A and B are shown apart, each in its own frame.
Chain A
């Protein structure tokens, strides 16, 4: 199993600014994932972050808007850049070792952009 600490847990930000969300795992993991959960919608994968390589973004998400860092096997950050009210959502960090295991999640960051 893996315990994931994510911070901040919530924030209210002005439009046009950026917010960096941190994700710390209590063990070394190969893959880390960032999801967005908009009200009434499913968890949507933003990108996959492997240590030592560029993050892989899903359709509809770009690096300029959601830059990701993965400096080591226990830590990752997601930045939401140049925010607009449409970015208001819950952002979740997750990890999963391989296909035959379940995913583990952080508690999420509730972002409100005003």
Chain B
């Protein structure tokens, strides 16, 4: 069974601090990986995704994530956070073997950025 672990449940940072949110997955095959963000009062929306190719993927708003296959990880990073990055972040995984594959989400990390 596939699973996703997000180690940080609640992170508090000052503006301009660097961010790294951990995500580890368990899946017996090739994967697609996602980070979603949910700003207060808004829909879940895609931040970035990895399907294949360059393991370092860049998303919106200066976020990036690196897929390290040997570590089953897909950590999210941002060099300098802003107050507007306050949100909840979800890592997700799905299989990559064709057809429809179920999406499994992590428990989420709440990020609070202090001005």
Query: Which residues of A approach B to under 8 Å, CB–CB?
Result: 4, 31, 40-43, 45, 48, 92, 96, 98-100, 102-103, 105-108
Query: Which residues of B approach A to under 8 Å, CB–CB?
Result: 4, 9, 32, 34, 36, 42-46, 49, 51, 90, 92, 94-103, 105-108
Q: What separation, in Å, do the CA atoms of A102 and B101 have in the docked complex?
A: 11
* B94 CB contact (under 8 Å) in A92, A99, A108: A99
On chain B, the residues within 8 Å of A103 by CB distance are 34, 36, 46, 92, 103
Say how far A75's CB is from chain B's closest CB, in angstroms: 18
On chain A, the residues within 8 Å of B97 by CB distance are 99
Q: Which 6 A-B pairs have the closest CB atoms?
A: A105-B44, A43-B105, A42-B107, A102-B46, A42-B105, A99-B101
Residue of B32, B44, B97 most packed against chain A (CB within 10 A) = B44
